[in-house]
Chain A
Amino acid sequence: MTELLTQFVNLLGAVLLMLAFAMTAQRRILSLIYLFTLQGATLVLSTAVVGYVTNQPHLYLSAAVTAVLKVVLIPYLLHRVIDRLGIRSEVETLINIPTTMLIGIGVVIFSFNLAKPIAQLSTTLAGGTLGIALACVLLSFLMMITRAKAVPQVIGFLAMENGLFFAATSATYGMPMVVELGIALDVLIGVLILGVFMFQIREQFDSLDIRNLEKLKED
C-alpha cells in the first residue's frame, strides 16, 4: 500500500511537471490561471498523501492552507485583477513558444541531472521527486523570463513557489509550521502588492508591458 502511495506521489510530481510545461506553452491568460489552480490542487493532494503515508498530521494543515490559498483565494484574486484590467487577450512572449519549450526540455535535463546525486543520498519517501520539483521551479522561472506582460509574470512567480513547496514536502516532509505559514502569508501579500503594482504600471504607461519600465531609467 505504501509502495503504491509512493508511486502515486511520483505520479503527482509528473503531473506537476506536465502542468508547469503546459503553463510555459500557454497563450491565453485565462487558461494560465486555470492551469495554476490545477497545479495548486495537485500540490494539495500530494501534500495530503505524503502526510498520510508518513503519518505527520502537520502536513494536513499545510495542505489545507495551500488549498485555501492557492486553489481558492489567489486564483480568485487573479481573476478579479484581469477582470478589472480588462485583459483576456493572448499572452505576449519574448521568445516564440516552440523555442521556449526546447529550452524548457534543456532545463528539465539539467535539473534532473543536478538532483540525481542528492536523490540517491535521500532516504525519504519520494526523494526522486526532488529533480521534478527543481525542474518545476526552473520552468516557472523560464516562464517569468520569457513573458512580456506583468500578469503572466506574477503567475510564473506563484508557480515557482508551488515547485518549492513540492520540493519541501517530498524531500524533507515539509518545513516547520512557522516557516510555512510565513511563506503562505508572504505569497498572499505578494499577490496583493503585485496586483496594486499592475494597476500602477498600467496607469503610467497605458499597457502592462514591463519593458516600459526601462523608460524610467535616468541616463
Chain B
Amino acid sequence: MTWTGFLSQFLEIVIAAALAPLLSGWVNQWRAWLQNRSAPSLLQPYRLLHKLFNKDAVLSNNASPLFRTAPYLVFSCMLLACAIIPTLSTDLPLAPAADAIALVGLFALARVFISLAAMDVGTAFGSMGARREMLIGFLAEPALLMVLFSASLISQSTSLATIVETLSQREFAIYPALALAGVAFTMVSLAENARVPVDNPATHLELTMIHEALILEYSGRHLALIEWAASLKLFAYSCIGLALFFPWGVARAQAPVEMLLALPVLMGKLALGGFLLALLETLNAKMRIFRVPEYLGTAFLLSVIGLLVHLLLSH
C-alpha cells in the first residue's frame, strides 16, 4: 500500500461523506424547479443534518439495543460502499477487500438492519415499511447483480476498480449489453433509493410510503445518521452507474495527479446525473405497490438479456 493509494482512499471517503447531502440537495432543487415550485436551498440537507444532530434523540420504552445501533451500522455500511466504488481514482487499498458482489452484500446488510430496527419498536407502520422494503430489496438485488455481471463479463473481473480501469482505458467501443444493463440499472436504482415510480421520498402519506415508514420512529442524531446514509446510498448508486457506464475521467493508479482533474469531472457527471434523476422523477407517476414486482422483474429480465446479447455478439 503506497501513500498515494492511502491518500486517494481517504480523499474518496471524505468527499463521499461531504458531497452526498449536496447531491440530494441538488436533486431536490431540480425536482422543485421542474415541478414549478420554488426550490429549497442547495444546502438544505446540511441544515437538516445540523439541526438533527443538535436535537435530543427520543427513544421508545420498548426499543432494544438493536434499534440504537442500527443507524450507526447503516451509516458505516454506506460509507464503506462509497469507499469501495472508484469515484476519483482506481488505486484504492480497500477495493481488493470487496468486489461488486460484496458491495451488493453491503447494501443488503444495511437493508436487513434498518428493517429489523423498524420492526423492533413494534409499530404498525414500521413493520409495514420493513416488509415492503424487503419485498423491493429481494427483487432488486438479483437485477443489480446481473447488471454488475454484464460489466464483469466484458472486463473479466468482478472488482469494480478493475472494471473501471479496463472500460476506460481500452479504445472506445459500443457494447449493446451495457445499453441493456444501463436501462436495467436505472430501474433498479430508482427502486433502491426510494425514488418516484416505486416510492416518493417527499411524502409522509401513510399508506404509500416505504422508506419514510421505516424511519418513522427515529429522531435526533439517529435520524440524522439515517438521512445521511440515505444520501450516501444515492451517491453510491450514482457512482456505480458512472463507474459502469461512463468510466472516463477517473484517475489511474500510476498517475495520482489526475485526481485533481477527476474531482471536477466527477462533480460535473453527478450534476448531470442528478438533473436526469429529477427529470425522470417528474415525468413518472408513482406506481401501485403491487406493480413493483413486475417493474423489478422487467429490470431483471433486461439485465439477463444484456448478458445473453453479450454472449451472442462476442463471437
Contacts and interface: CB of A to CB of B under 8 A. Distances in A.
A139 B4 CA distance: 52
A105 B313 CA distance: 17
User: For B175, B176, B302, B304, which residue has the most chain A Cβ atoms within 10 angstroms?
Assistant: B176
A124 interface: no
B171 to A, nearest CB: 9
Contact of B305 (A18, A98, A102): A18
Interface string A96-135: 0110011011001100100110011000000011011000
A4 B294 contact: no
B174 interface: yes
B174 A11 contact: yes
B312 A21 contact: no
A195 B304 CA distance: 37
Contacts of A10: 174, 176, 313
Contact of B309 (A4, A17, A25, A97): A17
Interface in A4-42: 4, 7-8, 10-11, 13-15, 17-18, 21, 25
Interface in B136-180: 172-177, 179-180
A8 B175 CA distance: 9
B304 A105 contact: yes
B97 to A, nearest CB: 34
Interface in B218-275: none
B177 A14 contact: yes
Interface in A171-191: none
A13 B309 CA distance: 10
Interface in B292-312: 293-294, 297-298, 301-302, 304-306, 308-309, 311-312
A41 to B, nearest CB: 16
B37 interface: no
A8 B174 contact: yes
A140 to B, nearest CB: 15
Interface on chain A toward B: helix, strand, loop, or mixed SS? helix
Given A18-B183, A109-B308, A128-B312, A104 B301 contact: yes
B172 A4 contact: yes
Contacts of B313: 10, 128-129
A98 B294 contact: yes
Contacts of A131: 312
B315 interface: yes
B305 A108 contact: yes
B173 A132 contact: no
B314 to A, nearest CB: 8
Interface string B167-211: 000001111110110010000000000000000000000000000
Contacts of B315: 116, 119-120, 128
Contact of B298 (A8, A14, A25, A108): A25
A18 B251 CA distance: 34
B294 A97 contact: yes
Contacts of A14: 176-177, 179-180, 306, 309
Interface string B275-296: 0000000000000000001100
Interface of A: 3-4, 7-8, 10-11, 13-15, 17-18, 21, 25, 97-98, 101-102, 104-105, 108-109, 112, 115-116, 119-120, 128-129, 131-132
Given A101-B297, A105-B301, 18 more contacts: A4-B172, A4-B173, A10-B313, A11-B174, A14-B176, A14-B177, A14-B179, A14-B309, A18-B179, A18-B183, A18-B305, A21-B301, A25-B294, A97-B294, A101-B301, A108-B305, A108-B308, A128-B315
16 contacts: A7-B174, A11-B174, A14-B176, A14-B180, A14-B306, A14-B309, A17-B309, A98-B294, A98-B297, A102-B301, A104-B301, A109-B308, A112-B312, A119-B312, A119-B315, A128-B313
